[in-house]
């Protein structure tokens, strides 16, 4: 990344403040003047954490920046998330004397990503995570003073946002507006406008667009709003998030995903990805998916999972990806939308690595306690006789130490399903993240599918991009991806357009 010299920066900021066009020459600008309804230096599409970091940095540096959001509220998935944030070299790691390194973090990312990770993007995430964290703090976002040691990380490095993602987004949004940034909600970007040299010069939007959750495909069927053309003199940045809500698109990429539940924002569709693809961008790794589970998957080994016919169908030992894929494949085979049920007896329940957490699933209404199997089978509409047969077979396996699905029964501490009370909940893989997206370079420039060269003035950041996380994103690593890509994108736009 280019460094901005202080002298260059001052001249740039001063010229920008006078309102002169900076990035395109006068005749080009005049030509475009006739075509556009509104003029900005940079337009950021989306209003999640990647958009806010990028746009706020630009606004702080006196760039005339517009942020648009298609929904009627800000924040996308960033506002729904806890925003757990893995940072290397943070003040908290220093305070707790945690020995971390680029190599160690990279190893953890690669392990989760099964080597699909694009190394240069992973290195960007790691090396700039602390700078992005410091910038977020300077924008008012507050973090807890305790580090978390999350699964898949070799050392404690995850920082927690105080008040969760919703609060973080509202805080940085206020900073963005205070710094002079402009914002429009219910404004959807439909097209990327290029000049005759193939350079991106603006976008076509619909103002007063109203997302309609009842449509099968909102991107295709929704005709609301008033068309406008906005000029972006310096850059257009897509910070449009993933496509976990787009059942049609994700099922084309991976048919099993048809039945996956998602906790995502309603607006997480593939429309923006297609808009970029139409402009020549390259969607990569889009058949990958990242699941979360209602319950720590390491505890599932202490119970059994049965389908709607009260049959076991898999080894309950596995990570979130393996288990989720098996469950979704089985539901597909049965052509059912009914999720399997995970059942523990009282021994299995207390074997879990965090019984207090298990209790919290009961108080939050996710897990249920039953005095006997009759109650349980009634509640979940399972055939009691079939359930008893399945349990008997499992118990026999326990006494012979041989499981039908080759589960390592010694690892399960020989937890059977015989001691009341029983506990059960839906085994529901939830698609909370899509690792695939638009292919970018380390300056966050969108690369053309035709020649792998940057499409001039077009950038993409955050979950909208693909390649950094690979097969399965390491926990708490989307936020550092979103923040570092947003911050570096803003810096690169400024340094590129200096006169």
Chain residues binding ligand FAD by CB under 6 A are 45-51, 68-71, 76-78, 80-84, 188-189, 239-241, 263-265, 267-268, 271-272, 432-433, 462-464, 476-479, 482
Rounded to the nearest angstrom, the gap between the alpha carbon of residue 169 and the centroid of all alpha carbons in its chain is: 15
Of 81, 232, 106, the residue nearest 157 (C-alpha)? 106
Shortest Cβ distance from residue 310 to ligand FAD (Å)?
31
Backbone angles phi, psi at 231, to 5 degrees: -90, 135
Strand order of the sheet with strand 341-344?
304-306, 341-344, 422-426, 368-370
Toward ligand FAD, which CB reaches closer, 373 or 428?
428
Toward ligand FAD, which CB reaches closer, 68 or 126?
68
Shortest Cβ distance from residue 25 to ligand FAD (Å)?
29
Residue nearest to ligand FAD (CB): 48
Of 184, 203, 187, 171, the residue nearest 52 (C-alpha)? 171
Measure the CA–CA gap between 270 and 255, rounded to whole angstroms.
16
Shortest Cβ distance from residue 343 to ligand FAD (Å)?
26
Toward ligand FAD, which CB reaches closer, 80 or 440?
80
Of 278, 485, 298, 310, the residue nearest 389 (C-alpha)? 310
Shortest Cβ distance from residue 475 to ligand FAD (Å)?
7
Shortest Cβ distance from residue 49 to ligand FAD (Å)?
5
Toward ligand FAD, which CB reaches closer, 157 or 407?
157
| C-alpha to C-alpha distances, 405 to 273, 315, 317, 394, nearest whole angstrom | 40, 5, 10, 10
CB 59 within 8 A of CB 179: yes
Toward ligand FAD, which CB reaches closer, 62 or 70?
70
Length in residues, the chain = 499
Half-sphere exposure in the Cβ direction for 7 (13 Å, CA): 0
Shortest Cβ distance from residue 377 to ligand FAD (Å)?
31
Toward ligand FAD, which CB reaches closer, 12 or 85?
85
Shortest Cβ distance from residue 380 to ligand FAD (Å)?
25
Q: Which two structure tokens, joined as six digits, stand for 191?
A: 């097209």
CA angle (456 as vertex; 21, 492 as ends), nearest 5: 70
Toward ligand FAD, which CB reaches closer, 19 or 263?
263
Toward ligand FAD, which CB reaches closer, 66 or 464?
464
Shortest Cβ distance from residue 269 to ligand FAD (Å)?
7
Shortest Cβ distance from residue 471 to ligand FAD (Å)?
16
Toward ligand FAD, which CB reaches closer, 55 or 376?
55
């Amino acid at each position: 990344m280019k460094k901005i010299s202080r002298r260059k920066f001052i001249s740039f900021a001063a010229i920008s403040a006078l309102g002169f066009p900076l990035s395109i020459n006068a005749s080009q600008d005049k030509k475009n003047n006739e075509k556009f309804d509104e003029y900005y230096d940079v337009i950021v599409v989306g209003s999640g954490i990647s958009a806010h970091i990028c746009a706020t940095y630009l606004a702080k540096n006196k760039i005339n920046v517009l942020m648009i959001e298609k929904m009627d509220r800000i924040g996308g998935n960033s506002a729904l998330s806890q925003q757990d944030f893995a940072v290397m070299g943070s003040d908290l790691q220093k305070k707790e004397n945690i020995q971390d390194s680029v190599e160690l973090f990279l190893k953890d990312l690669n392990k989760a990503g099964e080597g699909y990770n694009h190394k240069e993007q992973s290195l960007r995430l790691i090396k700039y995570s602390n700078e992005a964290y410091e910038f977020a703090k300077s924008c008012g976002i507050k973090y807890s003073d305790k580090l978390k040691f999350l699964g898949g990380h070799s050392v404690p490095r995850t920082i927690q946002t105080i008040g969760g993602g919703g609060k973080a987004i509202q805080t940085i949004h206020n900073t963005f507006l205070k710094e002079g940034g402009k914002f429009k909600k219910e404004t959807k970007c439909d097209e990327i406008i290029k000049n005759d040299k193939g350079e991106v010069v603006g976008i076509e939007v619909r103002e007063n667009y109203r997302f309609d959750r009842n449509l099968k495909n909102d991107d295709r069927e929704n005709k609301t709003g008033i068309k406008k053309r906005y000029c972006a003199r310096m850059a257009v940045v897509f910070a449009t998030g993933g496509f976990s809500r787009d059942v049609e698109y994700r099922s084309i990429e991976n048919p099993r995903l048809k039945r996956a539940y998602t906790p995502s924002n309603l607006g997480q569709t593939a429309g923006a990805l297609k808009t970029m693809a139409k402009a020549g961008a390259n969607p990569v790794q889009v058949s990958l998916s990242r699941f979360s589970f209602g319950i720590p998957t390491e505890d599932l080994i202490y119970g059994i999972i049965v389908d709607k016919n009260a049959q076991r169908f898999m080894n309950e030992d596995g990570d979130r990806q393996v288990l989720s894929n098996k469950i979704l494949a089985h539901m597909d085979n049965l052509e059912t939308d009914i999720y399997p049920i995970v059942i523990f007896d009282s021994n299995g329940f207390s074997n879990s690595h965090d019984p207090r957490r298990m209790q919290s699933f009961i108080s939050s209404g996710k897990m249920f306690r039953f005095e006997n199997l009759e109650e349980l089978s009634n509640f979940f509409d399972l055939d009691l006789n079939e359930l008893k047969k399945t349990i008997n077979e499992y118990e026999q396996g326990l006494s012979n130490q041989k499981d039908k699905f080759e589960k390592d029964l010694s690892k399960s501490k020989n937890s059977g399903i015989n001691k009341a009370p029983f506990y059960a909940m839906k085994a529901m893989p939830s698609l909370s993240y899509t690792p695939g997206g638009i292919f970018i370079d380390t300056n966050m420039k969108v690369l053309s599918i035709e020649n792998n060269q940057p499409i001039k003035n077009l950038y993409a950041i955050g979950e909208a991009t693909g390649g950094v996380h690979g097969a399965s994103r390491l926990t708490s690593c989307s936020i550092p991806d979103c923040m570092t890509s947003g911050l570096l994108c803003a810096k690169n736009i400024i340094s590129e357009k200096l006169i």
